[in-house]
Amino acid sequence: MASFILKNRFSDNNVIVESEFIDQYMAKANGEYVKVYLLLLRHLGQPGCSISISGMADALENTEKDILRALKYWEREGLLSLEYDECGTVCGLEVGKLSRTGPEPAKKVTPPAATPGANIKTFESRKELRQILFVAEQYLGKTLSKTEVDTISFFFTDLEFSVDLTEYLIEYCVENGHKSIHYIKSVALAWADKNISTVAQAKQAANVYSKEYYAVMNAFGIKGRGFTPAELDYLKCWFGKYGFSLDIIVEACNRTIMNTHQPNFKYAEKILSGWSAEGVKHKKDIEVLDQKHEQTRQQKQTAKPAPNTAKSKFHNFDERTYDNMEELERKLLSN
């Protein structure tokens, strides 16, 4: 990404952090956003300074999207303004408080839950929604339908997601190969259930998701695709309803592959539901169940009935036994 020129509204080139920034802006801002702003102030102290998004990302060990997200945040707060070229790429940045005095008060709108799109006209008048709708169209690569617009407004109204969190939500889903608004909504609801309200919390949850869910992918040998909605339902049940740890679920996946030679979620579900019913909590509990199963199998084999000794049609008479040939001769002569 090309460098852009920084324009300074401050009266000199000293690195200045105004008390107003510390008192009114810093406390409620994401820590990473504060770093970005301070880095901008640092570069403003250099005559004819220029800086790039990628350069800032490298300096702060962050991604370019994280830097852009921070810049847009400070623009919304009125501390800088961004300039865009014809392609919509940031080409200029001016630091310094804009015409308004202080941050805009937060507006909380609570429309009826059953009609998430009812207050869409109110939201369209807000810069935040216009911005996130624009970002969503860029990520999804199309003009948003009414259903998609209503769903995104639902993130603001019912779920009370911030612009930053909503943007990261869409970015996260798209980068993982999911552009369906229904899938995006399911992820949003899952985050809401976990009380995720910041990008940092969402990233942490995503890391946990990656560790657990991709471990299942590897155990099943799934390559080149993500989980289907039905498969995700199984995973949510195994990790959530059953509360199994990753090692137990991977063990069930390994046994499934050994017996079916394919990633069979139904088969794994039978194994895990059985373990759940038996009260399995740790992998050693599985070993105990295996030993009991083996003992039961051996007992069944030991208790098998003796071979059938019933007389055949060739032996349906009483057989006689004789001690010696002399006794046999006597009996024959007596007859």
Domain assignment present for residue 309? The answer is: no
Lowest mean pLDDT among 71-80, 127-136, 221-230, 286-295: 221-230
Q: What is residue 53's predicted lDDT score, i.e. its pLDDT?
A: 85
Same domain, 37 and 53: yes
Q: How many domains does the chain have?
A: 3
Query: What percent of the chain is modeled with pLDDT above 90?
Result: 19
Domain boundary, last residue among 61, 95, 129? 95
Residue 307: pLDDT above 70?
Answer: no
HEC string of the chain? CCCEEEEECCCCCCCCCCHHHHHHHHCCCCHHHHHHHHHHHHHHCCCCCEECHHHHHHHCCCCHHHHHHHHHHHHHCCCEEEEECCCCCEEEEEECCCCCCCCCCCCCCCCCCCCCCCCHHHHHCCHHHHHHHHHHHHHHCCCCCHHHHHHHHHHHHCCCCCHHHHHHHHHHHHHCCCCCHHHHHHHHHHHHHCCCCCHHHHHHHHHHHHHHHHHHHHHHCCCCCCCCHHHHHHHHHHHHHCCCCHHHHHHHHHHHHHHHCCCCHHHHHHHHHHHHHCCCCCHHHHHHHHHHHHHHHHHHHHCCCCCCCCCCHHHCCCCCCCCCHHHHHHHHHHC
Is 41 within the bounds of a domain?
yes
Q: Which of 69, 95, 121 is the last residue of a domain?
A: 95
- Do 222 and 188 fall within a single domain? no
pLDDT tens-digit readout, 6-55: 555 555 556 677 888 888 888 888 888 888 888 888 877 565 567 788 88
Same domain, 211 and 296: yes
Asked whether residue 241 is domain-assigned, the answer is yes
Say if residue 114 is in the same domain as residue 65. Answer: no
Q: What is the pLDDT of residue 105?
A: 38
**Residue 324 covered by a domain:** no
Residue 85 scores a pLDDT above 50:
yes
Q: What is the CATH number of the domain that holds 14?
A: 1.10.10
Q: Which domain holds residue 226?
A: 205-300
Q: Percent of the chain having pLDDT more than 70? A: 73
**pLDDT tens digits for 138-191?**
899 998 888 898 899 888 777 888 889 999 999 988 887 888 898 898 888 888
Regarding predicted confidence, which is higher, 64 or 97? Answer: 64
Average pLDDT over residues 268-289: 93
Q: Which of 197, 232, 256 is a domain's end point?
A: 197
